[in-house]
Amino acid sequence: MKKYACGIWLALAALVQAAGLHFPETLKEVHAPADAKTVPAEFEFTNRSDKPVTVAKADPTCSCIAVKIKDGKLRYAPGESGLIRAEFDMGNFSGTVDKVVAVWLEGDPADKPSVSLTVRVHIPVLVALEPKTLRWDLGGESGPKTIRIEMTHSSPIRVTGVNSSSSHFTQEIKTLEDGKRYELVVTPTETTSPGMAVLRIDTDCDIAKHRIQQAFAVVRKPTPSEAATPP
Amino acid sequence: MNALAQAACIAAVALAAAGGTWLVKGPPGRQLHCDPAVLKPDEVCLDSIPAGDGVVWVDARSRADWEKNGVPGSLLWNLDPAEDMQAFEAGVAMRISETPRVVVYCGDENCGVSRQVADRIRNLDLGAEVSVLHGGWRALSEAGRVRGSSPSP
């Protein structure tokens, strides 16, 4: 009996060892150029166990990442190294974005991959809006509020127009520094009824995905937590 | 008795016990269970969401899945780079102004996309209460609240 128990323990210990691919880095930070469409991140690994290890699958948690294992090789002998390449499609993302690639090795439970790799992409914000949303309380004061617009590109970016989805608000663009800093001043026509506007800010940015920005203006009842907060 | 015979005996006894349980108790219950005690801070159980117009449903799955069997009246917002994020923002913002409660659902229980979409909606700062549905689309399907589904018994 002792012999069997010992055998089972050794088999389990071997399994645990077999589950060992060593990744020197599980987080890769990438600083993407403003005009990049995709950015790659590569994760090297080595089989440091004494058994061959098979990669069952490498699954991105977002359709914005394509994952490839170098040369399509899935089985790694002890001591052998490999490379997982994740290619992030920048789409309309901006700011800092974390995306995870889960790696299952043969024998991993379906809900527990052996390794989680993170690609942290820093995407430049060429046209920064602060704040992105202006709010007025229903029944409150209807004075103007301002969105500051700051261009951080190497070349000037000019605001060429602003459109509102609602006549509930009026808007005016002010140039503080041509091609660099602007203010969008928004005023609700009244605050006695709820209202919402999508403000579309057109620019002459030479990179298409940064050209149009969007902000919001809303007149609404304050939520209970906001109402309880002193002004 | 050698080791192989012993293993076979154990397997046979286990199989008989499992079969007996199946006969007496029926097949294993695979229906999703939502325990409010173990919910993550931003999650909600489907039971706590009334059917009707009080909620903006946001589907974080692919466009094809949303069109096939999304919640009737739901909005699409996923992280597919081919989609127009500004259109998603505008669509959700317009609905939030009428209904300031948003619930995001994804394809399965462990899908992180719904949480990322919920964060993006919160970042719009429109004052909406934004939650993630525990159990995702499966919970909705079992409750008969998606296109082409009927409630599970």
User: Model confidence over B66-99: pLDDT tens digits?
Assistant: 999 999 999 999 988 889 999 999 999 999 888 8
Q: Are B126 and B97 in contact (CB under 8 A)?
A: yes
Residues of chain A neighbouring B138 (CB-CB closer than 8 A)? none
Read off the DSSP letter of residue A50. Answer: S
The Cα-based distances of A132 to A38, A196, A218, B50, B110 in angstroms read 26, 13, 11, 31, 31
At A181-193, the pLDDT tens digits run 999 999 999 999 9
| Domains parsed from chain A with CATH numbers | 23-123 (2.60.40.10), 127-228 (2.60.40.10)
Residue A84 pLDDT: 96
Question: Could you please report the per-residue DSSP string of A114-125?
Answer: SEEEEEEEEE--
What's the pTM value of the predicted model, to 2 decimals?
0.75
The verdict on a CB contact (< 8 Å) between B79 and A216 is: no
Query: CA of B98 to nearest chain A CA: how many angstroms apart?
Result: 8
The verdict on a CB contact (< 8 Å) between A91 and B86 is: no
Residue type present at position A116: S
Nearest to A84 by CA among A98, A64, A104: A104
Tell me the ipTM for this assembly: 0.71
The verdict on a CB contact (< 8 Å) between A133 and B126 is: yes
Q: Is A21 helix (H, G, I), strand (E, B) or coil?
A: strand
Residues of chain A neighbouring B127 (CB-CB closer than 8 A)? 135, 218, 220, 222-223, 226
At A119-154, the pLDDT tens digits run 999 999 999 999 999 999 999 999 999 999 999 998
B113 touches chain A (CB under 8 A): yes
The verdict on a CB contact (< 8 Å) between A135 and B93 is: no
Q: Is A56 helix (H, G, I), strand (E, B) or coil?
A: strand
At B97-136, the pLDDT tens digits run 888 899 999 987 667 789 989 999 999 988 899 999 999 9
Q: Is A107 helix (H, G, I), strand (E, B) or coil?
A: coil
Query: CA of A111 to nearest chain B CA: how many angstroms apart?
Result: 8
The verdict on a CB contact (< 8 Å) between A196 and B84 is: no
Question: Could you please report the per-residue DSSP string of B11-78?
Answer: HHHHHHHHHHHHHHH-SPP------GGG--TTEE-GGGS-SSSS-EEEE-S-HHHHHHH--TT-EE--
Q: Where are the beta strands (DSSP E) in B74-117?
A: 75-76, 101-105
B35 touches chain A (CB under 8 A): no
Give the full edge-to-edge strand order of the sheet including A133-137.
A133-137, A212-220, A195-203, A159-164
User: Mean pLDDT in chain B?
Assistant: 85
Count interface pairs A-B at CB distance under 8 A: 74
The verdict on a CB contact (< 8 Å) between B3 and A90 is: no
Pick from A90, A133, A222: CB nearest B81: A90
Residues of chain A neighbouring B62 (CB-CB closer than 8 A)? 63
Query: CA of A189 to nearest chain B CA: how many angstroms apart?
Result: 17
Q: Are B133 and B59 in contact (CB under 8 A)?
A: no
The verdict on a CB contact (< 8 Å) between A91 and B81 is: yes
